[in-house]
Chains A and B, each alone.
Chain A
């Protein structure tokens, strides 16, 4: 995981603990959002809303459609952040 990814990971971890009452230890990169962390589709929408200040723009359901794990989420956010930097 590079520095940007680590930063994203820590940010997501903090948000999930705050939003979903999860244990920080449970939020590992391999964790499955639905099966392990009990994060359903409505939770995902609320998480996207909370991520907006960090990511710089509103994330759409399309951005997050196929995300299943924490690592996958980190990867997608990294893509969005790098995209916005090149604009």
Chain B
């Protein structure tokens, strides 16, 4: 005990106090999210829905509002000291008419991506639209419903119309480092004949994983790093003379490989 530096005690104390603060602030952020989505959807229904303008115009406005709100939310969390973030982007991600895919390590991935990408669309799980307020907001934003029988075709159509669609090929948050990729994203890219922009999401130290409790705040402040990788044109990655289902399998394998090699390099 005689060899312990008194400063070590105060550092440990500060770290502990910081951690308690972050647990409190994290709880507050969850609460803020719940309130925020309620206020946002009420605002959209009260002020945007009744506007006497075209559906597409309302959609553009709605998406802009959502983007700004997402950005404000991450700024607030940074201000509270519960996370830091950095975007390492490339210009292709902002060009319209593409598919954006990302790995999905944390609960906040969607918020960050929507803060980063203008006029973004996504596929919403049908059960989230059971709430009528959510259903109207999702409809105003023009997001796609995953229960649709023609979902892949719809997704391809919106991309061809110039929208940017964000899809997580894993389908859900990663368990271990990367889940097996579903082929939906590849199929959409083939049907839309579009470029694919890849985003690599890294959170260190990792937090808000699947099955993780909200109060399991890590010892250090998590840093969210978003790296945009070079855009992919499937014509240069796979044999496009093969039947479409085979292209989808090859393209999915290729995309999975892009992420897997990056994640393995990081782990090394």
Tell me the A residues contacting B by CB distance below 8 Å. Answer: 18-21, 40, 42-43, 45-47, 61
Per-residue contact bits, chain B 33-50, to A (CB 8 Å; 1 contact, 0 not) = 000000000000000000
- For B243, the chain A residues whose CB sits under 8 A away are 18-19, 46
Q: Does B245 contact A (CB under 8 A)?
A: yes
Q: State whether A42 touches B152 (Cβ < 8 A).
A: yes
Q: What are some 18 contacts across the A-B interface (CB < 8 A)?
A: A18-B243, A19-B243, A19-B245, A20-B246, A20-B249, A21-B246, A21-B249, A40-B182, A40-B183, A40-B184, A42-B152, A42-B183, A42-B187, A42-B245, A42-B248, A43-B245, A46-B243, A61-B149
A19 to B243, CA, bound (A): 6
Is B76 an interface residue, CB under 8 A from the partner?
Answer: no
Would you call B245 and A46 a contact (CB within 8 A)? yes
Chain A residues, CB < 8 A from B245: 19-20, 42-43, 46-47
Is B246 a contact of A42 with CB atoms below 8 Å?
A: no
Q: Look across to chain A and name the residue whose beta carbon is closest to the beta carbon of B190.
A: A42
B182 to A, closest residue via Cβ: A40
Tally of A-B Cβ pairs under 8 angstroms: 27
B72 at the A/B interface (Cβ < 8 Å)?
no
- 10 additional contacts, CB 8 Å, given A19-B245, A20-B246, A43-B248? A19-B243, A19-B246, A21-B249, A40-B183, A42-B187, A42-B245, A43-B183, A45-B152, A46-B244, A46-B245
**With the chains together, A46 CA to B184 CA distance in Å?**
13
Question: Which A residues are in CB contact (< 8 Å) with B182?
Answer: 40
Give the residues from 117 to 132 in chain B that come closer than 8 angstroms, CB to CB, to chain A: none
Q: How many residues of B contact A (CB 8 A)?
A: 12
Q: Could you tell me if B184 and A42 are in contact, using CB atoms closer than 8 angstroms?
A: yes
Chain B residues with CB under 8 Å of A40's CB are 182-184
B187 CB, nearest partner CB in chain A, Å: 5
A61 to B147, CA, bound (A): 13
Give the one of B152, B244, B245 with max A CB within 10 A. B245
* A74 to B77 CA separation, bound complex (whole angstroms): 56
How far is it, in angstroms, between the C-alpha of A54 and the C-alpha of B149 when the chains are bound?
23
For residue B247, give the distance in angstroms from its CB to the closest CB of chain A: 10
A45 to B187, alpha carbons, bound, how many Å? 12
Tell me the minimal C-beta distance from B242 to chain A in angstroms.
9
In whole angstroms, what is the CA distance A18 to B243 when docked?
Answer: 8
Closest 8 pairs between A and B when the two form their complex, measured CB to CB: A42-B187, A19-B245, A61-B149, A43-B245, A19-B243, A42-B152, A46-B245, A20-B245
Give every chain B residue within 8 A of A42 (Cβ-Cβ): 152, 183-184, 187, 245, 248
Kindly provide the distance from the CB of B248 to the nearest chain A CB, expressed in whole angstroms: 7
